């Protein structure tokens, strides 16, 4: 469903975007504005900006379409992120779906670039400042930086080519690749069939659900209209990117609170908290302060995200197909890793808005920056450990339920005066769902030295792998075995029987399935 | 006779009760006072002479401002050379009018910024202090509304003034105060306050006197006409309707992203929960027709 | 090697046996005629509302004005509001209606489909591999290295240089355009937007002027601007400056820059040295200027060295003088490239202009230097003080690298780089 939000947002983007292309002029030629926005009447500005003003003020429905386009772009990327988080936390990226994960990561990256090129098209002050920063990023590249900058902009910044070129990328190149990748993503989904939660009747070999026609088609189709409708409501009520307030781009003007759109916020945050390091190698300058946060870090993060399924498969040595989802608590290390990555992302994101944080929360931007410099390293580590322990506690609580039943809220007082709460066993379908988990089997290698004392090749790596694997599953709480469950039930029953001193089932155990219900009331009569 | 019957006497006996005289006296006083207030000529304090105003201002200054700004407004420095209160010699009446009428001064506690708050002094008291400070040294005077009004201009000139003002605003002001005048962050906890909805007089004075950390935009930097144009632009964008809907604070992409996540994704996830939820079940069985 | 293959969900291992799919239970709309009719009516109503909203959309489109005279509603633009809400209503009612239909009335049975392994069968694999191998073998590419290598060479040349070369005319080569701006000796410094030149006396201490080179405002005989459009933007992106007036006692001029200001009036490039955003967030009391993009902070009274933030180099300074009519002019172009750093940006001594060079390395400045306070007229002072925030950077820029000295860098230490000027 979360992926559907992304899918339908993409359709909304195509529809609203096509509308906009009918009026937008992707040209940086200078024109004199004579439209109906009085505050700029007579000003010189680029055609791109003038046509954006025309769409906003002189085309009925134009402002609505512009706003819907921008809102659905934000929803598209947000939905992809939420979908990615869901897929990761439930283990749906495992074999055979690794390729689908890779496609999804590429979709996220392309969506982000598409958004950046898109909001830069109106050539307003805010997005132009972003383009200026992008030029700075390009220039900082070693060896080829200035060439890349001059080739992209058709000369010195700002030149007259960047908007038309971004337009081509935004309207043709990236949407083409996006469409192809989305088609591949959907195709793989149909081929592999959707994953499902464990539950009664659901196994690794089957898939249980409503038929595609009519129910799922109706739900998905209806959801398309809902996504479209919510976007329209946001476009009606919430003003986004009011380009007329920013004014046309001018390299000597800037506004306070200059941020990129939210999905570019985290590299911006990295850029803000980076100390000002620069090296001079003879006649050359290497700008670490720009290279590291805006080139190295995003590439690194993207690569990590791309490789997550393969890293996990390598560590766990798990080569089986998985079609049943895992609850996040049942994979504590995986969940903790992603929460750590999310913490890193979130702190960088917050750092990107440090001036807004400062004004809204009455803080000092300097202090926020210093805090973030430390927090982005310390925070993820703390988050990792807390999440891991939390998952393990939740696993223990699940096992408690399995072994001792759920708490009924009925408190009984024994003859000695002590209080105890009655527990009832959970239903069989719930018990099945909770125990329908693969047992954890850490990778262990039987490579080593052979009889002649020759160390096998690759055994160092295999040992590292085995070590990581055992750390991966460390402290995980396995589901109880059948024997343990039986023992737990008997034990519980036995305890109650002892306490009650009766020969009929103890209170609360009438419906265990071991006795008929006529044998006793649910509650004692006194 | 009617007048002398018992009910009339009873009535007039009440009228001549012990409190009657007192009540008549009170009524008389109220009437006299009210009529006097309504019809007497206005005895305004602005009819006082300038010396009286300066003297009154000095009194107020000594009791409220001298602690930080010095007995003669010369400023106070601490032993380490830091400044407690800056010198007010030459800041002019405009600075006092701005600082005191917007409540920034007197400062409630020392800190990075003097926040705007409810003014402590009345307009007359502020005028008196302004006159006193103006007497300390020549400085900018409180602007006249005609300095920043567009009256007397043709529609075309007015239009041009607004457009020019917009460009001046975007060049000089938005870097600190943001594109809607919503304010922005400055180092070490300072901030450029919001200028939306601020009285044009204070905008003019702030530009002229450069309060706190704000740079000056003296008349040699931005001419009075330029200031007028900026104020005209600000007023025009305040008058504009919110074309696209609610502005979400006018803070740019940060608040837009917040709303996209909370309202957009939140709402849609809510719909997802509804769509995927189990529908109501019945215990009845279907009757096969 | 204990990698596990194949199916693992063996019944004997599962602690709780699979209870199987739960029995189907009916919905009220399946068993109760009245409930079914009610659901139908609800769905039809929703679709009806959707249609109504669509009609409202058309009505709003036709009746509500935008442009010169904009209809408003509650302070909001009425056209956008009405069009948007009616469109939203039309879509949402439709969507909710369809989903309500699916949930209440459409057939409710869950079905079970068996999965197939994603992995192709062994048969398919061997067949495919065999076919592939046969094809490769029959092509002979393995046995004919001459053919293969010449193919690779041809493909390589076609795939790489040809498309790359086609893109060469995307733009000109940088040349030295990044090192020069339009500023020249004698060019007046004029106020941005209005284009009026500046006299020193017009500026008070604490003034900040956003300024441009006068060439950007020059017009020809017909009053048409000489520089406009893209050319204007390009020159602005390098030539924009800020002019500030600071108390002369508070200024510590850069090395060799003692005559670059006029009575405490200093001029710096407006373009941040981090990634190029224009800066003019000037804090008058500290004479720090802050960039809004990534919060780089520069001290304008101290040769614009970096005091905070990700910028690595101080802002370039423009040397000022006064021309014969009393207006502020530039002495020359900037002595270093303006704006963000780039690979070829050379900051070694040999290519650094004469102004930056010194005959002997400067003495290492004290780590904690402070600008001396302005002398006070006699008057009362208090007996207590605010806690002093110590500055922890050198007050100078390194003459060897041109960059600001942080606590960690050593000013003037790399004297081997500094050689006496050959001229």
Q: Do B246 and A362 touch (CB under 8 A)?
A: no
Residue among A42, A230, A235 minimizing CB distance to B163? A42
pLDDT band at residue A506 using 50, 70 and 90 as cut-offs: low
Q: Is residue B171 part of a domain?
A: yes
Per DSSP, helices labelled H in A169-296 are 174-192, 217-237, 243-246, 265-273, 288-291
Identify the residue among B257, B266, B279 best suited for mutation to test binding to A, counting A beta carbons within 10 A and taking the highest. B257
Across A196-210, A382-396, A419-433, C332-346, which has the greatest mean pLDDT?
Answer: A382-396
If you ran DSSP here, which 8-state letter would residue C10 be given? -
Interval C215-243 mean pLDDT: 92
With contact defined as 3+ CB pairs under 8 Å, the chains touching A are B, C
Q: C108: which chain A residues are within 8 Å (Cβ-Cβ)?
A: 210, 215
Radius of gyration, CA atoms only, chain B:
32
B242 touches chain C (CB under 8 A): yes
pLDDT of B41: 60
Q: Is residue B253 part of a domain?
A: no
B61: CATH: 1.10.760.10
> Is pLDDT of A466 > 80?
yes
- This prediction has a pTM of 0.85
> Could you give the 3-state DSSP secondary structure of residue A148?
helix
The fraction of chain B above a pLDDT of 70, given in percent, is: 90
Interval C199-226 mean pLDDT: 93
pLDDT of A494: 65
Residue among C22, C274, C293 minimizing CB distance to A129? C293
pLDDT of C269: 96
Q: C236: which chain B residues are within 8 Å (Cβ-Cβ)?
A: none
- Give the residue from B81, B102, B136 where a domain finishes: B136
**Residues B212, B156 share a domain:** yes
pLDDT band at residue A437 using 50, 70 and 90 as cut-offs: confident
pLDDT band at residue B151 using 50, 70 and 90 as cut-offs: confident
Q: Do B172 and C210 touch (CB under 8 A)?
A: yes
The full set of domains in chain C, from first to last, is 28-104 (no CATH), 177-343+351-390 (2.102.10.10)
Across A175-184, A405-414, B56-65, which has the greatest mean pLDDT?
Answer: A175-184
Residue among B166, B184, B243 minimizing CB distance to A239? B243
Domain count, chain B: 2
Classify residue B235 as exposed, middle or buried by CB count within 10 Å of its CB (0-12, 13-18, 19+).
middle
Q: What is the pLDDT of residues B70-118, one digit of tens each?
A: 998 888 888 887 888 888 998 899 999 999 999 998 888 877 788 899 9
Length of chain C: 423
Calculate the alpha carbon distances from A198 to A203, A326, A393, A430, C20 in Å.
7, 8, 21, 10, 12
Domain region containing B150: 145-239
pLDDT of C119: 83
Structure-block tokens of residue C174: 């940088």
**Residues B224, B203 share a domain:** yes
pLDDT of C346: 81
Q: Is residue B184 part of a domain?
A: yes
What residue ranges in A13-141 does DSSP mark as E strands?
Answer: 30-32, 44-46
Radius of gyration, CA atoms only, chain A:
30
- Give the residue from B109, B136, B163 where a domain finishes: B136
Q: Is residue B216 part of a domain?
A: yes
Mean pLDDT computed over every residue of chain B: 87
- Point out the least confidently predicted range of A31-40, A138-147, B4-13, B205-214: B4-13
pLDDT of C364: 43
- φ, ψ of residue A92 to 5 degrees: the values are -80, 0
Calculate the alpha carbon distances from B158 to A34, A419, B173 in Å.
16, 84, 21
Q: A218: which chain C residues are within 8 Å (Cβ-Cβ)?
A: 98-99, 101-102, 106
> Is pLDDT of A234 > 50?
yes
DSSP letters spanning chain B: -GGGSHHHHHHHHHHTSTTHHHHHHHHHHHHHHHHHHHHSPP--GGGS-HHHHHHHHHHHHHHHTHHHH-TTS--EE-TTS-EEE---TT-HHHHHHHHHHTT--S-SS-SS-------SS-HHHHHHHHHHHHHHS--PPPPPGGGS--TT--HHHHHHHHHHHHHHHHHHTHHHH-TTS--EE-GGG-EEPP-TT--HHHHHHHHHH--TTSPB--TTTS-HHHHHHHHHHHHHHHHS-BTTSB-TTS-THHHHHHHIIIIIIHHHHHHHHHHHSPPP--SS-PPP-
- Point out the least confidently predicted range of A45-49, A514-518, C12-16, C54-58: A514-518
pLDDT band at residue C198 using 50, 70 and 90 as cut-offs: very high
Among residues A40, C209, A35, the alpha carbon closest in space to that of B233 is found at A40
Q: Is residue B259 part of a domain?
A: no
Q: What is the pLDDT of residues A478-498, one digit of tens each?
A: 888 888 888 877 776 666 555
Q: What is the pLDDT of residues B246-274, one digit of tens each?
A: 988 888 899 999 999 999 999 999 999 99
Interval A8-14 mean pLDDT: 98
Interval C206-233 mean pLDDT: 92
- Point out the least confidently predicted range of C9-18, C203-212, C315-324: C9-18
Q: What is the pLDDT of residues A154-168, one digit of tens each?
A: 999 999 999 999 999
pLDDT band at residue C395 using 50, 70 and 90 as cut-offs: very low
DSSP letters spanning C277-305: -B--EEETTTTEEE-TTT--EEEGGGTTE
pLDDT of C418: 36
**Residues B129, B154 share a domain:** no
Q: What is the pLDDT of residues A83-122, one digit of tens each?
A: 999 999 999 999 999 999 999 999 999 999 999 999 999 9
CA-CA-CA-CA torsion sign (A421, A427, A433, A438): positive
Interval A345-362 mean pLDDT: 94
Calculate the alpha carbon distances from C113 to A185, A194, A211, A220, C102 in Å.
21, 11, 10, 20, 21
**Residues B174, B130 share a domain:** no
Given the structure tokens 């100390």, which residue do they identify?
A275
pLDDT of A384: 97
With contact defined as 3+ CB pairs under 8 Å, the chains touching C are A, B
> Is pLDDT of C377 > 70?
no
**Residues B59, B130 share a domain:** yes
Bond into A214 cis (ω within 30): yes
Q: Do C194 and B187 touch (CB under 8 A)?
A: no
> Could you give the 3-state DSSP secondary structure of residue A116?
helix
Structure-block tokens of residue B113: 């910024």
Distance, CA of C99 to CA of C105 (rounded, Å): 10
In DSSP terms, B191 is beta-bridged to: B185
- Point out the least confidently predicted range of A422-426, C130-134, C249-253: A422-426
Interval A246-258 mean pLDDT: 93
Q: Are residues A80 and A111 in contact, defined by beta-carbon separation less than 8 angstroms?
A: yes
pLDDT of A224: 97
Q: Is residue B282 part of a domain?
A: no
- Give the residue from B111, B136, B161 where a domain finishes: B136
For B281, name the nearest residue in chain C, comparing CA atoms only: C27
ipTM for the assembly: 0.89
> Is pLDDT of C381 > 70?
no
Interval A497-521 mean pLDDT: 55
Q: Are residues A253 and A247 in contact, defined by beta-carbon separation less than 8 angstroms?
A: yes
- Point out the least confidently predicted range of A7-16, A395-404, B34-43: B34-43
Distance, CA of B284 to CA of A510 (rounded, Å): 26
**Residues B162, B130 share a domain:** no
Which residues numbered 353-382 in C keep a CB inside 8 Å of some CB on B? Answer: 372-373, 376-377, 379-382
pLDDT of C13: 60
If you ran DSSP here, which 8-state letter would residue A257 be given? S
Q: Are residues C363 and C334 in contact, defined by beta-carbon separation less than 8 angstroms?
A: no
Q: Is residue B124 part of a domain?
A: yes
pLDDT band at residue A299 using 50, 70 and 90 as cut-offs: very high
**Residues B132, B84 share a domain:** yes
Interval A423-430 mean pLDDT: 86
pLDDT band at residue C412 using 50, 70 and 90 as cut-offs: very low
Q: Is residue B209 part of a domain?
A: yes
């Amino acid at each position: 469903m979360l992926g559907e939000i992304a899918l339908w947002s993409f359709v909304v983007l195509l529809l609203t975007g096509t509308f906009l292309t009918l009026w937008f002029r992707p040209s940086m030629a200078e024109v004199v504005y004579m439209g109906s926005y009085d505050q700029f009447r007579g000003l010189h500005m680029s055609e791109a900006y003038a046509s954006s003003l025309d769409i906003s003020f002189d085309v009925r429905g134009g402002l609505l379409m512009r706003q819907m386009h921008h809102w659905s772009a934000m929803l598209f990327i947000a939905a992809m992120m939420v979908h990615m988080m869901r897929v990761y936390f439930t283990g749906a990226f495992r074999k055979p779906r690794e390729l689908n994960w890779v496609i999804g990561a590429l979709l996220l990256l392309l969506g982000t670039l598409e958004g950046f090129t898109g909001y830069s098209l109106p050539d307003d002050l805010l997005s132009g400042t972003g383009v200026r920063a992008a030029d700075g990023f390009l220039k900082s590249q070693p060896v080829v930086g200035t060439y890349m900058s001059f080739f992209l902009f058709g000369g010195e910044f700002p030149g007259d080519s960047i908007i038309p070129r971004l337009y081509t990328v935004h309207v043709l190149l990236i949407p083409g690749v996006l469409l192809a990748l989305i088609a591949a993503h959907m195709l793989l989904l149909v081929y592999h069939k959707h994953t499902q939660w464990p539950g009664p009747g659901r196994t690794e070999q089957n898939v249980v659900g409503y038929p595609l026609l009519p129910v799922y088609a109706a739900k998905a189709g209806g959801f398309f209209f809902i996504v479209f409708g919510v976007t329209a409501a946001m476009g009606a009520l919430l003003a986004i990117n009011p380009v007329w307030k920013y004014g046309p781009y001018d390299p000597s003007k800037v506004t306070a609170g200059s941020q990129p759109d939210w999905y570019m916020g985290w590299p911006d945050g990295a850029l803000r908290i980076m100390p000002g390091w620069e090296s001079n190698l003879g006649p050359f300058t290497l700008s670490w302060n720009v290279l590291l946060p805006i080139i190295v870090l995003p590439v690194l993060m993207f690569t990590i995200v791309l490789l997550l399924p393969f890293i996990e498969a390598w560590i766990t040595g798990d080569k089986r197909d998985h079609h049943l989802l895992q609850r996040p608590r049942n994979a504590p290390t995986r969940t903790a890793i992603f929460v750590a990555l999310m913490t890193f992302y979130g702190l960088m994101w917050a750092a990107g808005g440090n001036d807004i944080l400062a004004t809204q929360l009455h803080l000092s931007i300097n202090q926020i920056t210093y805090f973030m410099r430390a927090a982005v390293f310390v925070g993820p580590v703390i988050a990792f450990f807390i999440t891991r322990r939390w998952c393990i506690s939740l696993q223990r609580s699940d096992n408690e339920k399995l072994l001792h039943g759920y708490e009924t809220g009925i408190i009984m007082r024994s003859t000695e005066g002590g209080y105890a709460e009655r527990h009832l066993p959970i239903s069989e379908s719930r018990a099945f769902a909770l125990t329908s988990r693969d047992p954890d089997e850490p990778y262990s290698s039987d490579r080593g030295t052979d009889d002649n004392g020759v160390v096998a090749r690759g055994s160092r790596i295999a040992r590292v792998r085995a070590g990581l694997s055992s750390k991966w599953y460390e402290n995980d709480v396995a589901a109880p075995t059948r024997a343990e469950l039986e023992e737990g039930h008997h034990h519980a029953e036995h305890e109650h029987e002892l306490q009650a001193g009766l020969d009929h089932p103890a209170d609360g155990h009438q419906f265990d399935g071991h006795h008929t219900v006529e044998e006793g009331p649910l509650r004692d009569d006194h | 006779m009617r007048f002398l019957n018992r009910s009339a006497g009873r009535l007039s006996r009440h009228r001549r009760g012990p409190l009657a005289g007192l009540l008549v006296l009170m009524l008389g006083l109220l009437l006299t006072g009210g009529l006097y207030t309504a019809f007497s000529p206005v005895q305004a304090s602005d009819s006082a002479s300038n010396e009286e105003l300066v003297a009154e201002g000095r009194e107020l200054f000594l009791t409220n401002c001298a602690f930080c700004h010095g007995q003669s407004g010369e400023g106070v420095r601490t032993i380490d050379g830091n400044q407690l209160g800056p010198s007010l010699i030459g800041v002019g009446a405009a600075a006092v009018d701005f600082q005191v009428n917007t409540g920034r001064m007197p400062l409630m506690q020392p800190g990075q910024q003097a926040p705007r708050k409810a003014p402590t002094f009345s307009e007359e008291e502020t005028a008196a202090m302004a006159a006193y400070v103006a007497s300390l040294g020549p400085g900018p005077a409180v602007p006249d509304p005609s300095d920043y009004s567009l009256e007397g201009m043709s529609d075309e000139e007015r239009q041009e003034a607004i457009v020019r003002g917009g460009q001046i605003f975007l060049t000089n002001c938005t870097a600190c105060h943001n594109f809607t005048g919503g304010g922005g962050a400055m180092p070490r906890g300072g901030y450029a306050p919001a200028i939306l909805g601020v009285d044009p007089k204070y905008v003019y004075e702030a530009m002229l006197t450069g309060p706190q950390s704000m740079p000056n935009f003296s008349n040699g930097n931005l001419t009075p006409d330029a200031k007028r144009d900026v104020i005209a632009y600000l007023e025009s964008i305040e008058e504009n309707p919110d074309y696209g809907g609610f502005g979400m604070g006018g803070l740019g992409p940060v608040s837009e992203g917040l709303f996209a996540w909370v309202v957009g994704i939140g709402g849609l996830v809510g719909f997802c929960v509804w769509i995927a939820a189990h529908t109501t079940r019945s215990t009845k069985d279907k009757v096969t027709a | 090697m204990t990698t596990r293959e194949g199916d693992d969900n063996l019944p004997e291992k599962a602690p709780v046996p699979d209870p199987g799919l739960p029995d189907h239970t009916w919905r009220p709309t399946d068993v109760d005629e009245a409930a079914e009719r009610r659901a139908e009516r609800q769905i039809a109503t929703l679709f009806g509302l959707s249609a109504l909203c669509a009609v409202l959309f058309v009505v709003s489109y036709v009746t509500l004005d935008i442009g010169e005279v904009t209809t408003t509603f509650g302070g909001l633009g009425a056209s956008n509001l009405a069009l948007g809400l009616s469109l939203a209503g039309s879509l949402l009612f439709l969507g909710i209606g369809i989903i309500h239909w699916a949930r209440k009335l459409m057939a409710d049975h869950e079905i079970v489909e068996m999965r197939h392994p994603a992995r192709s069968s062994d048969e398919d694999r061997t067949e495919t591999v065999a076919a592939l191998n046969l094809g490769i073998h029959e092509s002979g590419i393995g046995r004919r290295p001459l053919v293969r290598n010449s193919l690779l060479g041809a493909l390589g040349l076609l795939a790489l240089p040809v498309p790359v070369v086609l893109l060469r005319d995307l733009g000109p080569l940088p040349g030295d355009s990044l090192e020069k701006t339009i500023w020249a000796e004698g060019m007046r410094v004029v106020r941005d937007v209005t284009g009026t030149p500046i006299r020193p006396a017009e500026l008070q201490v604490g003034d900040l002027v956003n300024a441009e080179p006068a060439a950007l405002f020059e017009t020809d005989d017909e009053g048409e601007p000489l520089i406009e459009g893209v050319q204007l933007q390009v020159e602005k992106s390098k030539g924009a400056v800020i002019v500030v007036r600071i108390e002369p006692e508070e200024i510590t001029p850069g090395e060799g820059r003692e005559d670059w200001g006029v009575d405490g009036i200093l001029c710096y490039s407006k373009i941040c040295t981090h990634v190029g955003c224009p800066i003019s967030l000037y804090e008058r009391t500290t004479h720090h200027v802050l960039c809004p993009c990534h919060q780089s902070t520069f001290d304008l009274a101290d040769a614009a060295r970096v005091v905070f933030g990700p910028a690595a180099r101080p802002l370039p300074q423009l040397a000022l003088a006064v021309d014969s009519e009393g207006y502020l002019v530039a002495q020359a172009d900037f002595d270093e490239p303006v704006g963000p750093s780039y690979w070829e940006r050379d900051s070694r001594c040999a290519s650094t202009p004469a102004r930056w060079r010194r005959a002997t390395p400067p003495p290492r400045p004290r780590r904690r230097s402070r600008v001396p306070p302005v002398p006070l007229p006699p008057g009362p002072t208090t007996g207590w003080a605010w806690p002093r925030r110590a500055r922890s950077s050198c007050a100078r820029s390194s003459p060897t690298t041109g960059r600001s000295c942080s606590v960690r860098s050593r000013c003037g230490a790399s004297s081997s780089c500094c050689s006496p000027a050959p001229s």
